[in-house]
Structure 1
Amino acid sequence: WPGDSSLGSFVAVDYVVFALMLLVSAAIGVYYAWADRSQSSTGDFLIGGRRLTAVPVSLSLTASFMSAITVLASPAEVYRYGAIFGLMGFSYTMTVLVTSEVFLPVFYKLAITSTYEYLELRFNRATRLVGTLFFIFQTILYTGIVIYTPALALNQVTGMDLWGAVISTGVVCTFYCTMGGLKAVVWTDVFQVGIMLAGFLSVIIRSVLVQGGVLNIVSDSHHGGRLNFWDFDMNPLRRHTFWTLTIGGTFIWVSVYGINQAQVQRYISCKSLANARLSLYLNLIGLLVIVVCTVFAGLCLYSIYKNCDPWTAGLVSKPDQLMPYLAMDILRVYPGLPGLFVAAAYSGSLSTVSSSINALAAVTVEDLIKPHIHMSEKRLSWISKGLSFMYGALCIGMAGLASLMGGALEAASSIFGIIGGPLLGLFTLGILFPFANSTGALSGLVSGLTVSLWLGIGAQIFPAPPEMTRPLLLTTEGCNFTATDSLNWTSPALPTEQSFITTIPIENIDGRPPLADSWYSLSYLYFSPIGTTVAVTVGLIVSLFTGGMKLKTESNLTLTKEDMMSYHLFRFFKERVSATELNQHRNQECVQRRNL
């Protein structure tokens, strides 16, 4: 029954559900524009006047993480490579701990709006300018891709008009960012994370009903080799292992949560450091829920299509289209639910794009305008709104450019991820090493970028062979094609003896460099750690040779033990233990005196 190729397209109710999601998002922007009409400072617009509380900020952090790529690509990743992807939950836990203990206290006590403002305070204006310009360029490029890529995937499966969806989501997102500022962004994120979870759950629950229960899905996944959680292979060339997902994933996500303006801007908008820390830990719960949902959705995808893979069969052209294909396949009997899933995917786009627009406006005002032009707060507030509008338009335009880039989309997304490693190394130098100077910082950043870009571009030109990526078996044995290329389903039993690994012979290509099967085949999750390590190592060496040991750094610009919650917890328990031991000693003395 699942798998009919004539899935049809959206009906009126689906469009209504999608439109309601956009209208509610826009209405939140209008509400906060009206509610804060008397507050005209840039602080109110860009960081909510630092009066936000932990719960909405934590949900906003979660929504910003949960882009359309998470909704569409992560289940497809599990479908192709197995549930080992779920080990990313360990990296999220480490990320929150590192961010809470290392980066959050430094940024919060400085009361800065832009993370790049820190670079001038710690190093010099040139370092700040380099970081700002780079952030603006990569964020506009990445945001255009985030708008266009899911729109293309959903258009080809659901029949929803491509540019109608791109422009409508871009316009609505730009509207509420321009009208309501950070408060509107945060509260629309809260609404959108609810929509995203509802979309996930609608597919998961319906899949469980179709397959006859959770145990059947787990059994199918086990027999298909998808429950490959514990792979401790130390080979760094393997795509997904325990080590690549935990170590590499931690570096990648610390570069997002620890230093990326879009995330930092949220938790420093909290009314206290305690609320900021709490928002991170509540957000961790949301991240773990998302991991469970994405992994189980991927297993549902496999269980339903275990005998006839729609991608291999040519029913979809890219793995990103598998989830919307599944939604249209199993939810079409309930009008409105396919629209809910598509609304969930676009909610992911809206949350990511709104975060980017607000962050771009913040860094432009704080890093490029304020240091050079003196203006009143009211005028800066209007400029912030104008910048939000301008960046929204640029991101929609970049989506148009992304449509012309074709195969470069994946390369651009990879490069965006690769940049985070060297930038993380730059901030790590400033926060953890008081003797790191501006010469070392810039040298480290350039070196890290050079190495990580070399590695990333090489990996795009010379992809890793299947022996390293290890895609799992996909079959079309249960497919019967008719003359009209439609697909009729049967349910033959899976072979009792089957290989879980798809082995594709690789021809020796003349001119393939020696590094292609080693250096360029490194797991993509290790690009960020390498960039960070190179940036820190070169930065420290150059700093030592250029008089870094003579540098006197203000204590509030580096991490001190008093900034760390773990230090205070350690002191608390140490004092309790000491007090207990002292009481025991006194009791022993009293007993001895009585005996005498």
Structure 2
Amino acid sequence: MVEGYSIDTGEKRTFGTLDYVLFSLMFCASALIGFYHAYRDRNKKNAEDFHLGGRKMHPIPVSLSLSATFLSSLTLLGTPSEVYTNGTMYIWIIVAMLIATAAATHLFMPVFYKLNKTSCFQYLEMRFGKLTRVVASIVFLLQTFVYMGFVLYAPSLAFEAVTGISLWGCMIGAAAVCTIYTTFGGMKTVLWTDSLQFTIMIVGLLAVLIEGAQINGGFEKAWNIADENRRVKFDDASFDPKTRHSVWTLGIGGVFFWLYLYGVNQAQIQRACSLPTLKRAQIALWLNFPGLVLIVTLTVFIGIVMFAFYSECHPVAAGLITRNDQLLPLFVMDILGRVPGLAGVFIASVFSGGLSTISSGLNAMSAVLLEDFIKPFCCKSVVEKHAILLSKILVFVIGIVQFGIAVIISQFKGLILQFSYSMYSITAGPIFGLFVSGMIFPWTNKYGAVTGFVLSTAFMCWLGVGTIIEKPSGYVPLPTSTTSCNWTALRDDSPTTMAATTIQSVVTTLSNTVTTTEEPMLHDFYRMSYLWYTGLGMIICVFIALVVSFCTGYTKPKSLDSRLMCPMFDIMFPCLPEGIRKPLRFGVVYDKDEKYALEDANVNGKESYGTDSNVDEEKNNASLVNDDLNKQSVRL
């Protein structure tokens, strides 16, 4: 736990009354939004209103929600520590975000939106059958539970660091508030609280950056100090997949991770489908990108000024903190603790990032459990009034379970940004591979899809667990200094300080020692950058799915419902001659309006998807579900 002693004066700084007031206001405002929408929608009895906001949301709150959800408290706490420890290469992730946003907006989103489903896994049943849908849904639920545990733990760690309040107490409070307002308000509450929380995140980050730069004598001076200590670097273009952060691992490997999040992730699909038209959904996705750039840039710059401030006295070595995850909270108390209220604003911003992600996960898992498990297996004829009640009960139960997972995660040590990315990517790759196999490769059949997904998941779990157990050497963080530590002010007689000093000395010695011990060849594989995990899992899944499909009797492209396929080359290269584009459709016969899938249009035939027509949507959607499942069962 952070003791709260300033690195320069030894003065103890803690939360003041104003800090607690401003911090509490964020929780109260989020809860009030939930109660407001619960009261306003008290007469609505449709589960679609709870999970999709009645499909009447505006692009701006949806875009802000997307930015706040996928750049959570892990980003706010993890990225500055990443820059402090390893330098500025991480900013190349913005390139991956741009590519992923474009691909998700124009390739994947039109397919999901026109199908008009609440759960994205309903697509898998239409394409590959019920077994694939169930297996993928289970893996998604496990993945989201673990990730939400990380997200709940991160801001609680920060709050413990600056207040001394128990980590468990912090997590209980955050989990309770988030679960309550999500249970009462549903998707509308999630979107509007996310918008509020995004604003708080930006205000908190700006406060830290501006005050941190001022204390360092200006941002230019802080940049120069970081540059002199090898923290400023943008040109590592190594092709070695073992390179932790390079232009290629971040700019290309990161694309797969972010394309999973923005292309086929349930939380994102629900947000996009909460908008009344496909065009507005695509606008929301593009509007979200500047928010991503802003948050990543601010956190990287905060890492620069934070390193400049501690460049001559590493807080872990000084005994002020015990792990790098606590660097930013300590920095905040050092620079903002002098001004009443500012520390409270920043901690509120960190919790805002966490609450936005948790509320999105709660709503998404509630939708998946209801649509993919309860309705198909338990309550096939459940009425809408009971469906809403079930959804709220599910949110409450999920909130309790994810708190337990967060308690377990709190026992781990290391950089939370890398560890959370690694754990999430292990399952993200296989799930992403399933959707790619279905939308891009028409030959994939149900046997290939299930086999590819199971084997890919097993392989990625082996890789992730093996890396954790073996812990192969090779990664060494950039050096730090303790030349100007005020050891008297830092209570050099305390056991914590002496132990930290000893540990730091041992680590420094070991990192400077050239090891000659032979390691198993497998360790080179374990050293692969965590940013390649999603791409590797996706490729393995698609490859095995295609091989098994051709061995067991591949699907005839002409027999497929073209609404389930993505005409990728028509969308990416619309100016190519028809003679070239036709073979690139792989034999799938697309209707004219489906082929381009770039704007809302009525599909030729009996049915309409994602349009602005005045047709009764509830009756239309009910008939679509039955028609789609009947067609698919006949075809398979």
Tell whether the structures are fold-level matches, with TM greater than 0.5: yes
After TM superposition, the structure 1 stretch with the greater mean CA deviation from structure 2, 143-152 or 324-333, is 143-152
Of 290, 310, 314, the residue aligned with 2:315 is 310
Alpha-carbon offset, residue 43 of structure 1:
0.3
Alpha-carbon offset, residue 263 of structure 1:
1.6
Matched, 1:156 2:157: no
Q: What residue in structure 1 maps to residue 562 of structure 2?
A: 555
Q: Percent identity?
A: 40
Q: What residue in structure 2 maps to residue 395 of structure 1?
A: 402
Q: Secondary structure at the match of 2:237?
A: coil
Q: What residue in structure 1 maps to residue 528 of structure 2?
A: 522
Q: Sort the Cα spacing of 1:506 and 1:383 in 2 relative to 1 into closer, same or farther, 3 A.
A: farther
* Unaligned segments of structure 2, at least 5 residues: 1-5, 495-509, 579-636
Q: Sort the Cα spacing of 1:66 and 1:430 in 2 relative to 1 into closer, same or farther, 3 A.
A: same
Q: What residue in structure 1 maps to residue 446 of structure 2?
A: 438
Alpha-carbon offset, residue 153 of structure 1:
4.0
Matched, 1:381 2:370: no
Q: Secondary structure at the match of 2:188?
A: helix
Of 253, 262, 266, the residue aligned with 1:261 is 266
Alpha-carbon offset, residue 412 of structure 1:
7.0
Matched, 1:3 2:8: yes
Q: Secondary structure at the match of 1:370?
A: helix
Matched, 1:362 2:367: yes
- One-letter amino acid matched to 1:378: K
Q: Give, in whole Å, the separation in 2 of the partners of 1:385 and 1:78.
A: 40
The one-character-per-residue Cα deviations of 1:213-264 (angstroms, maximum 9, x if unpaired) are 1211221122121220111111111111100001111111111111111122
Q: Sort the Cα spacing of 1:400 and 1:36 in 2 relative to 1 into closer, same or farther, 3 A.
A: same
Asked if structure 2 preserves the Cα contact closer than 8 Å seen for 1:105 and 1:563, the reply is no
Q: Give, in whole Å, the separation in 2 of the partners of 1:562 and 1:58.
A: 27
Q: What residue in structure 2 maps to residue 535 of structure 1?
A: 541
Q: Give, in whole Å, the separation in 2 of the partners of 1:570 and 1:289.
A: 39
Q: Secondary structure at the match of 2:241?
A: coil
- One-letter amino acid matched to 1:537: F
Q: What residue in structure 2 maps to residue 273 of structure 1?
A: 278
After TM superposition, the structure 1 stretch with the greater mean CA deviation from structure 2, 90-99 or 557-566, is 557-566
Of 135, 139, 142, the residue aligned with 1:134 is 139
Matched, 1:482 2:488: yes
* Unaligned segments of structure 1, at least 5 residues: 488-501, 572-596
- One-letter amino acid matched to 1:419: T
Matched, 1:459 2:461: no
Matches within 5 A, 1:176-187: 176-187=181-192
Q: Give, in whole Å, the separation in 2 of the partners of 1:182 and 1:564.
A: 31
The one-character-per-residue Cα deviations of 1:257-299 (angstroms, maximum 9, x if unpaired) are 1111112211121111111111111111111111110110100
Matched, 1:76 2:85: no
Matches within 5 A, 1:294-333: 294-333=299-338
The one-character-per-residue Cα deviations of 1:69-120 (angstroms, maximum 9, x if unpaired) are 1111111001111111101100000110111122101100100110111110
Matched, 1:513 2:520: yes
Alpha-carbon offset, residue 35 of structure 1:
1.4
Q: What residue in structure 2 maps to residue 583 of structure 1?
A: none
Alpha-carbon offset, residue 475 of structure 1:
0.8
Q: Sort the Cα spacing of 1:4 and 1:420 in 2 relative to 1 into closer, same or farther, 3 A.
A: farther
Alpha-carbon offset, residue 5 of structure 1:
4.0
Q: Secondary structure at the match of 2:75?
A: helix
Q: Give, in whole Å, the separation in 1 of the partners of 2:576 and 2:212.
A: 45
Alpha-carbon offset, residue 415 of structure 1:
2.5
Q: Sort the Cα spacing of 1:562 and 1:411 in 2 relative to 1 into closer, same or farther, 3 A.
A: closer
Alpha-carbon offset, residue 312 of structure 1:
2.6
Q: What residue in structure 2 maps to residue 115 of structure 1?
A: 120
Of 435, 438, 454, the residue aligned with 1:427 is 435
Q: Sort the Cα spacing of 1:283 and 1:563 in 2 relative to 1 into closer, same or farther, 3 A.
A: farther
Q: Sort the Cα spacing of 1:46 and 1:562 in 2 relative to 1 into closer, same or farther, 3 A.
A: farther
The one-character-per-residue Cα deviations of 1:402-452 (angstroms, maximum 9, x if unpaired) are 345668988676332211011111110001011111111011112211222
Give TM-score, length-normalised by structure 2: 0.83
Alpha-carbon offset, residue 314 of structure 1:
2.4
Q: Secondary structure at the match of 2:486?
A: strand
Give TM-score, length-normalised by structure 1: 0.88
Asked if structure 1 preserves the Cα contact closer than 8 Å seen for 2:318 and 2:487, the reply is no
Tell me the number of residue pairs that the alignment of Structure 1 and Structure 2 aligns: 555
Alpha-carbon offset, residue 64 of structure 1:
0.2
Q: Give, in whole Å, the separation in 1 of the partners of 2:110 and 2:325.
A: 38
Q: Sort the Cα spacing of 1:194 and 1:334 in 2 relative to 1 into closer, same or farther, 3 A.
A: same
Q: What residue in structure 2 maps to residue 590 of structure 1?
A: none
- One-letter amino acid matched to 2:295: I
Alpha-carbon offset, residue 503 of structure 1:
4.8
The one-character-per-residue Cα deviations of 1:487-536 (angstroms, maximum 9, x if unpaired) are 9xxxxxxxxxxxxxx953254568x53211x1111111111111111111
- One-letter amino acid matched to 1:208: A
Asked if structure 1 preserves the Cα contact closer than 8 Å seen for 2:46 and 2:388, the reply is yes
